[in-house]
Amino acid sequence: MIAAEKQLIQKDAFAAPLYQAGFSYLLKSKVTGFRLSPYGTVAYYWDVKIK
């Protein structure tokens, strides 16, 4: 078991960089309909209205 763990850590393991972009939005209360995708940094502007 120990030999198998050593092989997994020393020979079979790999490292991959992970990155997820992020944005912040500060909106006035007059802006309505602004939506963000829950799966990324996509903003939907087609329903945006300013009161």
- pLDDT score at 45: 86
pTM as predicted: 0.45
For residue 23, the model assigns a pLDDT of 78
Residue with tokens 């009161």: 51
For residue 7, what pLDDT is reported? 78
pLDDT of residue 27: 84
Tell me phi and psi for residue 38, to 5 degrees: -75, -10
For 3-51, write each residue's pLDDT tens digit: 887 777 777 777 777 877 777 888 899 999 998 888 767 888 889 999 8
Q: Where are the domains of the chain?
A: 23-51
The angle at the Cα of 26, spanning 51 to 48, to the nearest 5 degrees, equals 35
Read off the amino acid at residue 1. M
Q: What pLDDT score does 50 carry? A: 92
